[in-house]
Amino acid sequence: MKKVLFILTTSFFVMACSNGTTEAGKAADGSKEAVASTGNSLADNPDYQKGLALVATSDCLTCHKINEKNIGPAYKDVAAKYENTDANVKMLAEKVIKGGSGNWGAIPMTPHPQLKQEDVEAMVKYVLLLKK
């Protein structure tokens, strides 16, 4: 049983850490849908643009989608849960960098210590701008 659990856990982390070009393509496509569905002129917002570019080149879309739950919560659900404040941006950025579990279920988010704080904050701002 321990072997099976180890294999499943290892497989999950390998999938979460993969960063293929198709995932970056999904970022651009999904984000265009988000702009159209929010009705806001997010495309003109520099925080949106910077965050979109960073998410598109990261492994975020391995576990997250914009409008629906995947392994992790949908970006729109995160945006609905948290107000777009400097304190929340910093707190969520720390969660992305350090990883963790419990806020959205039992599946942990893998840590991303290789990412710069300022880049993660830009990604979080992008996500929070998706609030309806």
**What is the reported pLDDT for 102?**
85
**What is the reported pLDDT for 132?**
78
Amino acid at 94: E
Amino acid at 58: S
**What is the reported pLDDT for 24?**
37
Is the pTM here over 0.85, yes or no? Answer: no
What does pLDDT average to over the chain? 78
DSSP code of 42?
A: G
Give the mean model confidence (pLDDT) for residues 119-124. 97
Give the integer Cα–Cα distance in Å for 84 and 101: 21
**What is the reported pLDDT for 41?**
77
pLDDT at 97 over 90: yes
**What is the reported pLDDT for 40?**
52
Give the integer Cα–Cα distance in Å for 76 and 73: 8
pLDDT for 3-43, tens place per residue? 433 343 444 443 444 444 333 334 433 444 444 444 557 88
Higher-confidence residue of 47 and 10: namely 47
Query: Could you tell me the domains of the chain?
Result: 2-128 (1.10.760.10)
